[in-house]
Amino acid sequence: MLDSHCHWNDDTLYPERNEIFKRAVEAGVTTFLVVGWDVASSKKAIEIAHEFPGVYAAVGIHPENLEGCDDHSLEEIRRLSFDPKVIAIGEIGLDYHWFSEETERQKQQTWFIRQIALANERNLPISIHARDASQDTYDILVEHRPNAGAVLHCYSGSPEMEERFAKLGLYFGFDGPITYKNAANPKAAVQACPLDRILTETDCPYLSPVPYRGQRNESSHIVEILNAMASLKGIPPKAMEENVANNFMNLFHVKL
Ligand SMILES: [Zn+2]
């Protein structure tokens, strides 16, 4: 099994990363993508990736972390992207949830586009964070195609938008919310997702699945997410596991 989006570089998980790795491997989760959200967390993701087998890194600047970012920050991300353990640029994208001002949203769009350009220059796929910004995310991806592929992480948008994103060749990552009883949107999104585009992720330390909801999340909980995904799709967990592994290899060009 694999966790295609986790934050062991977060302060709450970083000191315990040895135990987190161990518990995950014991649970059968053996591949991990640790994702950065700014320059410092991207550096940390790379550091962690070099500590453990099966751990990879994504480097990038999240739309909520643009304050103080300048050309130098982008150059740093570019420099980091040359590390052999880096398999993606991310997480990058748009988050309009807390940002209602047009100038702020434009700044997010500019940085999203700049980092897609960087990914294309480096021939790396991107990991996208899109919150309350489906249409603008779509429009940017149409105009600035990520040439090496992309995943919409923690997808919970409408099945209609999902179909349009799928037509662009995107992958979709699903997390703990697909196990929540009343989470109709994430469940519907899994059901509408093409099997060859689906990925498991925890986004730990956030979004713990049932029965750990409300507690700190960690990568061993992929088991609950994979099982929920398999039952929503009506296929055996083992078949879903193999399917997800193939999708991960196709998107990130990593041999598992
Ligand atoms: Zn994340």
Alpha carbon of 35 to ligand 1 centroid (Å) = 7
Alpha carbon of 153 to ligand 1 centroid (Å) = 7
Alpha carbon of 6 to ligand 1 centroid (Å) = 6
Alpha carbon of 191 to ligand 1 centroid (Å) = 22
Q: Could you tell me the residue ranges of all domains in the chain?
A: 2-252
pLDDT at 60: 98
Rg (C-alpha) for the chain, rounded Å, is 17
Alpha carbon of 72 to ligand 1 centroid (Å) = 23
What span, in angstroms and rounded, lies between the C-alpha atoms of 84 and 104? Answer: 34
pLDDT at 156: 87
Q: What CATH number belongs to 2-252?
A: 3.20.20.140
Alpha carbon of 238 to ligand 1 centroid (Å) = 26
Region of 93 please: left (phi>0), alpha (psi -120 to 50) or beta. left
**SS3 (DSSP) at 137:** helix
Alpha carbon of 203 to ligand 1 centroid (Å) = 5
Per-residue pLDDT of the chain (256 residues; tens, 9 = 90+): 999 999 999 999 999 999 999 999 999 999 999 999 999 999 999 999 999 999 999 999 999 999 999 999 999 999 999 999 999 999 999 999 988 899 999 999 999 999 999 999 999 999 999 999 999 999 999 999 999 999 999 998 899 999 999 999 999 999 999 999 999 999 999 999 999 999 999 999 999 999 999 999 999 999 999 999 999 999 999 999 999 999 999 999 999 9
Residue 186 structure tokens: 């994430």
Alpha carbon of 32 to ligand 1 centroid (Å) = 13
Q: How many residues does the chain have?
A: 256
Alpha carbon of 160 to ligand 1 centroid (Å) = 24
- Cα 86 to chain center, whole Å? 14
Query: How many Cα atoms sit within 13 Å of 230 on the Cβ side?
Result: 17
Strand order in the sheet with 2-6: 2-6, 31-35, 55-59, 86-95, 126-131, 150-152, 171-174, 198-200
Alpha-carbon separation of residue 58 from 6, 74, 155, 173 (angstroms): 10, 14, 18, 15
- Of 195, 189, 141, 132, the closest CA to residue 168 belongs to 141
83: amino acid identity, one letter: D
DSSP 178: G
Q: Are 31 and 3 in contact (CB under 8 A)?
A: yes
Alpha carbon of 129 to ligand 1 centroid (Å) = 7
